[in-house]
Amino acid sequence: MARTVASFLCGLLFGIGLLISGMTEPSKVQGFLDIFGAWDATLAFVMGGAVAVAGAGFALARKRAAPVLGGNFAWPSRRDTDAPLIIGSAIFGIGWGLSGICPGPALVNLAALSAPIIVFVAAMLLGMFGFELWERRPAGRDVATGAAVAAPSDG
Amino acid sequence: MHDFTPLSGLIGGALIGLAAAMLMLFTGRLAGVSGILGGALTSGSDRAWRLAFIAGLIVAAVVAPLFGAPSPARLASSNLVLLAVAGLLVGFGSRMGNGCTSGHGVCGFARISTRSIVATLVFMAVAAATVAILRHGFGG
């Protein structure tokens, strides 16, 4: 129960950070990605701030044997740079560029319950389901994702 | 065109990083939104904390504006077909690539993970190219 409450509060803080940073504004995200236009560098500051604070927190976590609320640390264990990582990231990049929306801001913006964000989130969930089906297909699994089946996610 | 807002970017970013740090310190889990969402769809046993984190993200958009934070975007004038295609690509690609802007971009860089740094450089470069084509055409 305590873990669930802590997760909720972390999600809340994460969402507030996304709102304040400007990440929930698709046109601002696209402005950052628009390096050939009127480039808005704000998101570099968002990422810089986030990485610095998360890095310090992770360093503290590394010194502990277990999380404060018990259980284990689920650090991603993979080190290999494989084809699904590159291809998947490229596919994600196309969708992110087209819309200016990545999964965190999509969920935060869902609260507005506007038709466009409902369509986006529904399609995103469908895409995630689609990947599960594709990954579980009987033949050809070893070609691209064999190693990924049992591996923990990076995020 | 939006203004350059480095201060709110830095403050918001720090809060994002703090949330990721707290989630790891308190629960031992990584704040990667696509992984949390994908896991909530598929893994039965480990679902409660995932759904709680997602609920927190949504509640933030309801509560934070009451205290002066920006409201969630309404995306009023967007093309629904384009958004549906983009959503499919974001969902499929982030699961195939094992992460998105939060899991690879924030947590992965904070862990100095080569995998995540490569993934982030790939999706940022591809997203920038996509925006260049979308806004300026193939000729740049």
| pLDDT in the model for residue B92 | 98
For chain A, what percent of residues have pLDDT higher than 70? 90
B44: number of Cβ within 10 Å: 5
Mean local confidence (pLDDT), B13-18: 98
Chain A hits for B100, CB-CB cut-off 8 Å, are: 92, 96, 102-104, 155
Per the domain annotation, does B74 fall within a domain? yes
A91 vs B1, B2, B89: nearest CB: B89
Chain A hits for B89, CB-CB cut-off 8 Å, are: 91-92, 94-95, 98, 127
ipTM score assigned to the predicted complex: 0.95
Does the distance separating the beta carbons of A35 and B124 come in below 8 Å?
Answer: no
A40 → chain B, closest CA residue:
B4
Rounded to a whole number of angstroms, the CA Rg of chain A reads 18
| pLDDT in the model for residue B74 | 79
| pLDDT in the model for residue A11 | 98
Whether B14 has its CB under 8 Å from any CB of chain A: the answer is: yes
Domain boundaries, chain A: 1-77, 80-147
Mean local confidence (pLDDT), B38-46: 84
- pLDDT band per the 50, 70, 90 thresholds, residue A151: very low
Question: CB burial class (10 A; 0-12, 13-18, 19+) of residue B71?
Answer: middle
| pLDDT in the model for residue B138 | 62
Per the domain annotation, does B1 fall within a domain? no
Q: Is the pLDDT of residue A147 over 70?
A: no
Following DSSP, what letter does each residue of B43-111 receive, concatenated? -STTHHHHHHHHHHHHHHHHHGGGGTPPPPP--TT--HHHHHHHHHHHHHHHHHTT--IIIIIIIIHHT
Number of domains in chain B: 1
Containing structural domain, residue B16: 6-136
| pLDDT in the model for residue A152 | 52
Q: Is the pLDDT of residue A55 over 70?
A: yes
Q: Is the pLDDT of residue A99 over 60?
A: yes
